[in-house]
Amino acid sequence: MTKLILLAVLVLGVIGAIFAVVLYIVAQKFKVDEDPKIDEIAEVLPGANCGGCGKAGCRAMAEAFVKQGNMDGLRCPAGCDAVAQKVAEILGCTAEAAEPQVAVVRCGTCHNGSLNKSQYDGLQDCAFASSLYAGANGCAFGCLGLGNCAKACQFEALHMDPETGMPTVDEDKCIGCGACAKACPRGVIELRNKGKNNRRVYVNCVNTEKGANARKTCDNACIGCGKCEKVCPFGAVHVENNLAYIDYNLCKACRKCVAECPVGAIKAVNFPPKKEVAAPAAEPVAAPAPESVAAPVAEPVKSETTQN
Amino acid sequence: MGGVHPEENKISTQAVIEPFPVPEKVVVLMNQHLGAPATPIVNKGDKVKVGQLIAEAKAFMCANIHSPVSGTVSKIDVCKDPFGVSKPAIYIDVEGDEWMETIDRTPDIKRECTLTPQEIVAKLKDMGIVGLGGATFPAHIKYNVPEGKKAEYLIINAVECEPYLTSDHRVMMEHAEEICIGVSILRKALGVPNAYIGIENNKPEPIAVMKAMASKFEGIIVEPLKVRYPQGAEKQLINAITGRRVPSGKLPIDVGCVVSNVGTTFAVYEAIQKNKPLIENILTVTGKKIPSQHNYQVRIGISYGDIIKHSIGELPATTGKVISGGPMMGKAIYNLDGPTVKGAASVLVIDESEAIRDKESNCIRCGKCVSACPMGLEPYYFSGLVRNERFAEAKDRNILDCIECGCCFFSCPANKPLLDEIRMGKNKVRAMMAAQKK
């Protein structure tokens, strides 16, 4: 009996040893040389594979870093400066400090039913609804409220507000990867610099229709009057195609345009509320909220349709 | 293969075609056809007459547009179409009803046509004729058979398999001779020996009328067809009449067929024999809960709201949807102020009780959508592929062959929005292919 066991151990041991040698030889022969830096950098990167850098994933980004040898034009938006610093140490170069960015929803409508002119019970997908019609509230440019952006966010930074039906960005969680901006079929979401103390001024509308038509569609629409362009002391505002746009690199957040805008389409966020200049800007945006008296009626309809 | 049998609901078959009164204002969209928008050639303040050319086809895939009314051009601006999307348009304030002198408005039927095939095609282009079966494909492109291809069959689509719609039915009852003359003209343009008029068996009256009339003409054969939706889809109709199958990604002309809607042949007759451009549609106003049913000859550019107001007054309080087109393939109208365009076939008022979709549940893999699909596709599988964004795979499984007839959604016991998903998939696949081309 013991003989049998010994024989088995011996035979298996010899076979194992032979395979080990063969595998070692094969592994040496077909060895792929990979820069150890790739592994090191991949370790440092967040590993969320969000695609915000434009590469297929974090590993692909690490390969791109090593291939290029420096950090010019490559940036991990999820990791911000901390990660950039670590990558720079591994690569032995200097990291340029880049302004952190955040997703901004540039549309001032709401989908709680108070502005709806029709009911949509088709496929709950913005891209599809956009190919069918203008949208429940009639704007062919603005947010459709079906939440493709929220579905695209991997960092739980974007939620559909149940009260307004609009996407809201959690600024602490948003890393500026831009997945939501890509998911939006109408280009409502833009990546903008976070700004000093998170204070930002932006045009809360993307409607390029002529003023009168835009105004007919939505009370908060930019009418392209150009008052903001004239009042801006830094040349940061430009009106093109009946729509104002504030260049975040030039804007110094003085909020002169906010006070000047006749339709309240320019929004200033995260400013202390004490000064009276901030009031006209905050009002039109907050306006839908008090109307949420209608929400209890509208809400069940909404939740029903989202399940469809 | 495939198909379903929806309730027919042809309740407006006995309503005689009435001319629709001209309103005070019309808005003529520049996108009335498949392809590029036409270019306006009139200016603000210009006086126009009925039938005057107001927008020209500059691109290849485009059609001329003529003024449907007489009056003054009040502005050239954008206008919200029935789906709320802004499109370029010409606004005309109506003054009187003065027609172009060239248009023959007498009720006499003109039987002789001495034009050559090339002249016929050129005149179709001048008159802005497009296919009135729904796709609004410019006729001059269809009847200009590309080199190396030969038309053997001319098929006239008088199937009208969509529930509710009766405009083709009425045209056949009232204008059988004009249709047959139109068919003869198209037969001449293509140089084919025979033309087949396909009519579903559930329309015995038009079949009898057309058969009696066709016997007086050379080479026109009326073909009664099995009742089944979508018998009137181009590829299904070709198969039913000729036994040929149009391969995936090919056009009917690749198997020697040209298909034309019966309404188009009437428009062709009027254009070629009477010099009347395409400025009117035959349009059905119907619905189960509305007080009266109508078939109208209505000028393009009149808003849906005006049509409803004149025909039935107010919409019933329980209206759930107003649809342009039939209930299977038509689109719900979002903006009733939007103007009608060439090819608008109906205003269908659907009651609340029938307008809302039932709740969606899970796919039970029953395969009803697969057996209902007239194109032999697998709708349930596309649904999964599209939900998981696997568009390349969907393309390999021929998602672009889908004719959007809606049989899959109609037959699904789980109420899955199969057609919506397939449509979205098609959009994404087309975008993907366009990006690859670049």
The contacts of residue B113 (CB under 8 Å, 6+ apart) are B120, B181, B184, B185, B188, B272, B273
Strand residue runs (E) in B255-398: 257-261, 280-286, 294-299, 319-324, 331-332, 346-351
The predicted structure's pLDDT at residue A275: 53
pLDDT band at B304 (very low <50, low <70, confident <90, very high): very high
Q: Is residue A30 part of a domain?
A: no
- Mutation site for A-interface testing, chosen from B86, B350, B359, B386 by largest number of A Cβ within 10 Å: B86
CA-wise closest residue to B326 among B12, B18, B20? B12
Kindly report the length of chain B. 438
> Which CATH architecture fits B282-355?
Beta Barrel (2.40)
Residue A212 shares a structural domain with residue A65:
no
CATH of the domain at A279: 3.30.70.20
Q: Do A209 and B334 touch (CB under 8 A)?
A: no
CATH number of B117-274: 3.40.50.11540
Interchain CB contacts (distance < 8 Å): A and B? 53
Closest-CA residue of chain B to A133: B83
Interface of A with B (CB under 8 A): 117-118, 121-123, 125, 127-128, 131-135, 138, 140, 209-210, 213, 307-308
d(CA B363, CA B42): 55
Predicted confidence (pLDDT) per residue in B78-113, tens digit? 898 998 888 999 999 999 899 999 999 888 888 888
Element (H, E) at A203: strand A200-203
Give the per-residue pLDDT at B355: 87
What contacts B421, CB < 8 A, 6 or more positions away?
A: A123, A128, B382, B383, B386, B387
Asked whether residue A2 is assigned to any structural domain, the reply reads no
List, in sequence order, every residue forming a beta bridge with A203; answer none if it has no partner.
Answer: A266
Judged by CB atoms closer than 8 Å, whether chains meet at B334 and A133 is answered as yes
Residues A86 and A134 occupy one common structural domain: no
Please tell me whether residues A81 and A209 are part of one structural domain: no
Domains in chain A, number: 2
Specify the pLDDT at position A55.
85
Full residue range of the structural domain in which residue A136 is found? 101-302
| pLDDT above 90: residue B296 | yes
What is d(CA A85, CA A87) in angstroms, rounded to the nearest whole number? 5
Same domain, A64 and A170: no
pLDDT exceeds cutoff 80 at A98 = no
Which pLDDT does position A274 carry in this prediction? 59
Residue A165 sits in the same domain as residue A295: yes
A5 in a structural domain:
no
A307–B360 C-beta distance less than 8 A: yes
In a domain, A249, yes or no: yes
Which residues are B86's β-sheet partners?
B80
**Residue B167's pLDDT band (boundaries 50, 70, 90)?**
very high
Domain co-membership, A208 together with A255: yes
What's at B133, amino acid-wise?
Answer: G
CA angle, A117 then A119 then A120, to 5°:
130
User: Do A173 and A290 sit in the same domain of this protein?
Assistant: yes
Closest CA to B4 of B370, B372, B403, B369: B372
Judge: A308–B421 Cβ closer than 8 Å, yes or no: no
| A292 in the same domain as A144 | yes
Q: Which residues of B are less than 8 Å from A127 in CB distance? A: 424, 427-428
Least CA distance to B79: which residue of chain A?
A213
Give the pLDDT confidence of B23-75 residue by residue, as tens digits: 899 999 999 999 899 999 999 999 999 999 999 999 999 999 999 999 999 99
Same domain? For A66 and A114 the reply is: no
Q: What is the pLDDT of residue B2?
A: 86
Q: Are A222 and A214 in contact (CB under 8 A)?
A: yes
Residues of chain A with Cβ-Cβ distance to B329 below 8 Å are none
For residue A7, being part of any structural domain is answered with no
CATH of the domain at A56: 1.10.15
Nearest chain A residue to B88 by CA: give it: A209
Q: In this structure, are A67 and A195 located in the same domain?
A: no
Domain coordinates of chain B in residue numbers? 18-94, 117-274, 282-355, 368-437
Could you report the predicted ipTM of this complex, rounded to two decimals? 0.85
What tokens were used for B6? 């929806």
Structure tokens at B39: 């270019």
Please determine, for residue A277, whether its predicted confidence score (pLDDT) is greater than 70: no
Q: What is the dihedral of CA B95, B100, B106, B111, to 10 degrees?
A: -150
- What share of chain A has pLDDT > 90, as a percent? 34
For residues B357 and B406, is the Cβ–Cβ distance under 8 A? no
pTM: 0.83
Same domain (yes/no): A68, A215: no
Q: What is the token pair recorded at A102?
A: 């955040």
Q: Summarize pLDDT for A206-234 with one digit per residue, the tens.
A: 999 888 888 888 888 999 999 999 999 99
pLDDT for residue A271 = 87
In tens, the pLDDT along A16-72 reads 999 999 999 999 998 888 888 888 888 888 888 888 888 888 888 898 888 888 888
Question: Are residues A86 and A205 located together in one domain of the fold?
Answer: no
Tokens 């830094």 belong to which residue?
A: A234
Please indicate, yes or no, if residue A210 is contained in any of the structural domains.
Answer: yes
CA distance B107 to chain A (A): 41
Tens digit of pLDDT for each residue in A130-153?
Answer: 988 888 888 889 999 999 999 998
Is the Cβ of B334 closer than 8 Å to some Cβ of chain A?
Answer: yes
Considering the domain boundaries, does residue A4 fall inside one? no
Model pLDDT for residues B22-35, shown as the tens digit of each residue: 989 999 999 999 98
Domain B18-94 classified CATH 2.40.50.100?
yes
Q: What is the mean pLDDT of residues B260-269?
A: 94
Q: How far is A307 from chain B (nearest CA, A)?
A: 8
